[in-house]
Amino acid sequence: VFSDGDVWPTFRVEEAWAEGLDAIALTDHVEYQPKKDHVSTDRNASYRLAVKRAEELGMLLVAGAELTRRMPPGHMNGLFLQDANALAVEDWKAAVAEVRRQGGLIMWNHPGWVGQQPDGIARWYDDHTALYEQGALWGIEVANQSEVYPEVIEWCRSKNLAMLGSSDTHQPITTENRIARHSHRTMTLVFARERSLAGLREALVQKRTVVYVGDQLIGAEEWLGQVFKRSVIFSPDTITARGRQSVNVSATNTSEIPFHLSLAAPDAVLHAPQRLTLLPGTTAVFQVRATADTLTVDAPVTLRWKVTNLITGKDRGLEFPLQLRAQLKPSR
């Protein structure tokens, strides 16, 4: 409620904790305070009120604020701030400088937001080049609420910026999820070495992030590949395909995320299903069989899958080579 939200800051911490999150940032607007007739305009109030509750629940709480400017440069968050009131200055460049003076990180929010880009397409302006070249821009939202900006994935890859996803929530998150018909808020998975604000910050600065929006995970191959490998167990790893007989392979998805696989290229020797969906917490069994009465004993074969909801670039899914050791025999 300290800018344009509908809930008290302690509630933000409680609902995030109840959802199982480890960390959130509070980022009330610096320049937009539509409730100021009834609510204090102290831009540090929301963080100060919430941080006690966060400590009780063991949540990591990041002090932030949203610079709310026309496009360009659009809206930007400062994270890991000391004093959000100091950002309330006329010139946005001065506000950015103040964030950096406080040791904060600058992220560019929802670059394709329809409120500022009616066609939903993110555009890069000279102001962003300037920010980037002076080393002020740390990351960009690839996803905000249910919006996804595919162009941003490529920007982040080519410029080595952090890929970020945010809920940008104003109402209780259950209300927003219901309206968007989402099962979870849009969020950033951060691969931290320790569960502390320092650990969180180190991983963010190093850009070890993946964006989780709807059923999609968006990020670098490096991280998505590990997510997939540690989520899905294939068994057995040795296939005995006797002629045209089929062999059952099971894939157990231990994660809470569905994975949609499609066969990138048909294998010369093995036949497997073209498409496969691995639902969360379930095991799928699929059939593999030799495509011909090939006689090859104990050959390594590879099924070249693409995981179409693990997004590594604009229109690009994670490639996953499933290596099996096949013992192929003609049937009789």
Amino acid at 325: R
Peptide bond into 273 cis (omega under 30): no
Q: What is the smallest separation between the CB atom of 115 and a copy of itself, expressed in angstroms? A: 17
The smaller minimum CB distance to a copy of itself, of residues 238 and 248, is found at 248
Opening angle at CA 77, ends 71 and 80, nearest 5:
160
Q: What is the smallest separation between the CB atom of 73 and a copy of itself, expressed in angstroms? A: 30
Opening angle at CA 251, ends 248 and 252, nearest 5:
135
Give the Cβ contact number of residue 261 at 10 Å.
28
Q: What is the smallest separation between the CB atom of 169 and a copy of itself, expressed in angstroms? A: 12
Task: Please tell me whether residue 155 adopts helix, strand or coil conformation.
Answer: helix
The smaller minimum CB distance to a copy of itself, of residues 291 and 296, is found at 291
The smaller minimum CB distance to a copy of itself, of residues 252 and 296, is found at 252
Q: What is the smallest separation between the CB atom of 254 and a copy of itself, expressed in angstroms? A: 12
Give me the residue label for tokens 């910050």.
201
The smaller minimum CB distance to a copy of itself, of residues 277 and 294, is found at 277
The smaller minimum CB distance to a copy of itself, of residues 38 and 332, is found at 38
Give the Cβ contact number of residue 233 at 10 Å.
12
Reported residue count of the chain is 332
The smaller minimum CB distance to a copy of itself, of residues 132 and 286, is found at 286
DSSP lists the bridge partners of residue 284 as: 251
Closest by alpha carbon to 19, among 164, 142, 176? 176
The smaller minimum CB distance to a copy of itself, of residues 18 and 121, is found at 18
Phi, then psi, of 8 in degrees rounded to 5: -75, 145
How far apart are alpha carbons 68 and 299 in whole angstroms?
60
Tokens linked to 308: 């179409």
Give the footprint of a copy of itself on this chain (CB under 8 A): 1-2, 5-8, 10-11, 14-15, 18, 20, 35, 37-40, 42, 45, 49, 56-58, 171-172, 174-175, 178, 248, 250, 283, 285
Contact 11, 4 (CB under 8 A): no
Q: What is the smallest separation between the CB atom of 123 and a copy of itself, expressed in angstroms? A: 23
Q: What is the smallest separation between the CB atom of 130 and a copy of itself, expressed in angstroms? A: 37
Q: What is the smallest separation between the CB atom of 277 and a copy of itself, expressed in angstroms? A: 9
